Structure 1
Amino acid sequence: MVVITEFQKIGVGLMGFSLFFLIFGVLLYFDSVLLAFGNILFLTGLTFIIGIRRTAQFFFQRHKFRGSLFFLGGVSLVLCRWPIIGMLLESYGFVLLFRSFFPMALGFVVSAVNIPFLSAFSSSSSSMV
């Protein structure tokens, strides 16, 4: 069984708040303050979950340098109140950084269809009419 520390629990909470602020900032026509707050919470939550050393190793790997440059450059542009351009750069950097994670996440979503409770929602054979 995996032991989750208190710092990791705090990190998950920070990531949840960052997701809320990022979505709310986009819905309010790219409000730069909400987006900046969401970005800061995202980086802080990631640091709390995996640690300072592993966060630095993640962002500064040689093969992830371009993704890190775009992501951190987008964060800095959002902090400088250029939210639309910053979010575009940040999104591209996020895709470059986490592209090795996407197949695993897709496999998890596909396997979630086999869970009995969730398969009732995804099946199209039953009709409500």
Structure 2
Amino acid sequence: MFQPTEGQKIGIGLVGFGLFFLFLGVILLFDKGLLAIGNCLFLSGIAFIVGINRTWRFFFQREKLRASLFFFGGIFIVLLGWPIVGMLVELYGFFLLFKGFFPFVIEFLRRIPGVGLILSIPFISRFCDNLSGDTRRSIV
């Protein structure tokens, strides 16, 4: 079984707090302070989990450069004071950056008892299949 190091445990906590602050910032009508804190915590958590060097290489690969520009550009737009536009740009960049992970995440979520039941609802199932790029699944 995988045992995270102390730094990775800190990173998991930072990512969790970052997602919480991002969620809270969106719920509170796109509060730019909460969104900025959430972005900083999320990015620092990722760096703690996988390491600074690997994080740098992930974001600045040649094929992911456009996605990284959208992601970091969205963060910059949020800091400039346009949180809704910035979050939309950032969300697009996030989708482009992490679209390779979506099939694994969706398959993991399908194996969780309560979440798997929700993901088996026909409309949601088709959406998840399209998101993960799985065209082999068919509705029975």
> How does the TM-score come out when normalised to structure 2?
0.79
Q: Deviations over 1:9-59 (max 9, x none)?
A: 111111111111111100111000000000000111011111000000000
Match of 2:106 in 1: 106
CA distance in 2 between partners of 1:34 and 1:43 (Å): 14
1:8 alignment partner, SS class: helix
The counterpart of 1:122, out of the listed 91, 100, 117, is 117
CA distance in 1 between partners of 2:73 and 2:26 (Å): 18
Provide the alpha-carbon RMSD of the alignment. 1.7
- One-letter code of the match for 2:94? F
2:51 maps to 1:51: yes
Q: How many residues get paired?
A: 118
CA distance in 2 between partners of 1:69 and 1:122 (Å): 37
- One-letter code of the match for 2:5? T
After the TM superposition, which parts of structure 1 deviate over 3 Å for at least 4 consecutive aligned residues?
none
- One-letter code of the match for 1:51? G
Instruction: Give unmatched runs, 5+ long, in structure 1.
Output: 124-129
CA distance in 2 between partners of 1:10 and 1:79 (Å): 25
Q: Select the structure with the greater relative contact order (CA < 8 A; seq sep ≥ 6).
A: 1
CA distance in 1 between partners of 2:4 and 2:117 (Å): 31
Match of 1:63 in 2: 63
2:24 maps to 1:24: yes
Match of 2:80 in 1: 80
CA distance in 2 between partners of 1:63 and 1:122 (Å): 36
> How does the TM-score come out when normalised to structure 1?
0.85
Identical amino acids, percent of aligned pairs? 57
Instruction: Give unmatched runs, 5+ long, in structure 2.
Output: 119-140
2:112 alignment partner, SS class: helix
2:32 maps to 1:37: no
CA distance in 2 between partners of 1:108 and 1:24 (Å): 26
Larger radius of gyration: 1
